[in-house]
Amino acid sequence: MDFELSQDHKVLRDSVREFVEHEVKPIARQIDEEHMIPDALVAKMADLGLLGSYLPEELGGAGMDLLSYILVVEEVSKACASSGVLISAHTSLCCGPILSFGNEEQQRRWLPDLTSGRSIGCFLLTEPDAGSDAGSIKTSYRREGDDFVITGSKIFITNGGYRGTGIVFATSDRSLKHKGISAFIVDLTTPGVEVLRNEEKMGIRGSYTTAFALDQVRVPAANLLGREGEGFKIAMDTLNGGRIGIAAQALGIAEGAFERALAYSKVRKQFGAPICDNQAIQFKLADMHARIEGARLVTYRAAWLKDAGKNYTLDSALSKMLASEAATFVTKEAIQIHGGYGFICDYEVERMYRDAKITEIYEGTNEVQRVVISKLLLADR
């Protein structure tokens, strides 16, 4: 059992870390305040291969493994969670299902534009009345000649504001529940696709979280992903893998906040000594580090299991739950260590605290993860 990263993984981690230090970290506050990631930064991330890390080289990807993707999201999220989730949602929620369920023609048609950053991908599943209960979606489709026609609404769509490529889920018959759902690859500039708004949010404010109206959107039959009626299966499989990406984002947020809190504790003096000399601060640092390391081990293991073709459902849910709860705990404690300074925007832990909370919510709340975990544990009862 070897817990050491390979040399290739270390080289990747260090190169992404250097990129983040020079290109992402200096503008992280600007991204938060302006509620957008500059197109120039997105282009630089694409040029570095960060938008297609584990996709095959023949499809424009970097040809790496899933752990490499996790390291990318983790390192970027240490400085800017908005940029981290752009990469995560784009890669695992859009590129991932096309790679796993798309035919060769679909892969060659869509993935090169996605991996190059010419198109930014998203995943259109959630609706006003269908979040975790994905089988209750109301967006409908019907067949008309060589097209499918989709009508409905979607909300909380990460990366939706780019109007790039979307994996859209719709039902042919609501009475069939999950068995009536199909998935479609949709160019979001297609007539009938309307952006209603990009949400104003507490955290990850540089990431677009978009509401869409879909009015008689015509999609070529060739854009059906998988077979009709397989949409729910595609959605669940995609979310299962996507949770590892969210765990990596949460892990990065926690690490970024811990690094800043640790450094601050060494230079901030009270009563004539650095506050890190106080046992109360030492206890906080120890607890923060323990939460991070536990989350890291489970997250890396989940990625390893998926790479190895093993069942990773339990570890995916565990990693998302543990890493996201570590992120909220660590960022809260980081603010506490900073004291009053942690509450003002000049110190990055304030932003990280706001960014962390969403990791407990999206791609299935942690209550959902606990249901998944408990069902798997009780399966052989």
Pairing between β-strand 181-187 and β-strand 165-171 as defined by DSSP bridges:
antiparallel
Cα–Cα distance measured from residue 278 to residue 271, given in angstroms and rounded to the nearest whole number? 10
The packing angle between helices 81-88 and 66-79, to 10°, is 160
Cα–Cα distance measured from residue 151 to residue 253, given in angstroms and rounded to the nearest whole number? 37
105 in active site: no
Residue 286 CB neighbours (<10 A): 10
Cα–Cα distance measured from residue 24 to residue 18, given in angstroms and rounded to the nearest whole number? 10
Cα–Cα distance measured from residue 343 to residue 341, given in angstroms and rounded to the nearest whole number? 5
Q: Residue 286 pairs with which residues in a beta bridge?
A: none
Same domain, 303 and 333: yes
pLDDT of residue 381: 63
- Which of 229, 261, 280 is the last residue before a domain boundary? 229
The per-residue pLDDT for range 212-271, each reduced to its tens digit, is: 999 999 999 999 999 999 999 999 999 999 999 999 999 999 999 999 999 999 999 999
Same domain, 373 and 238: yes
Residue 354 CB neighbours (<10 A): 17
The per-residue pLDDT for range 294-316, each reduced to its tens digit, is: 999 999 999 999 999 999 999 99
Pairing between β-strand 165-171 and β-strand 121-124 as defined by DSSP bridges:
parallel
- Which of 65, 81, 115 is the last residue before a domain boundary? 115
pLDDT of residue 298: 97
Range of the domain at 12: 7-115
Please give the model's pTM, rounded to 2 decimal places.
Answer: 0.96
330 and 288 in contact (C-beta within 8 Å)? yes
Same domain, 221 and 249: no
pLDDT score of 161 more than 90: yes
Q: Residue 214 pairs with which residues in a beta bridge?
A: 152, 193
Handedness of CA 161, 59, 14, 48 (dihedral sign): negative
- Which of 214, 229, 244 is the last residue before a domain boundary? 229
174 and 129 in contact (C-beta within 8 Å)? no
In a domain, 157, yes or no: yes
Report the domain count for the chain. 3
Cα–Cα distance measured from residue 171 to residue 193, given in angstroms and rounded to the nearest whole number? 17
User: Could you tell me how many residues make up the chain?
Assistant: 381
Cα–Cα distance measured from residue 231 to residue 217, given in angstroms and rounded to the nearest whole number? 18
Of these residues, 74, 75, 333, 363, which one is catalytic? 363
- Give the CATH number for residue 198: 2.40.110.10
* Three-state secondary structure call for residue 266: helix
- Give the CATH number for residue 252: 1.20.140.10
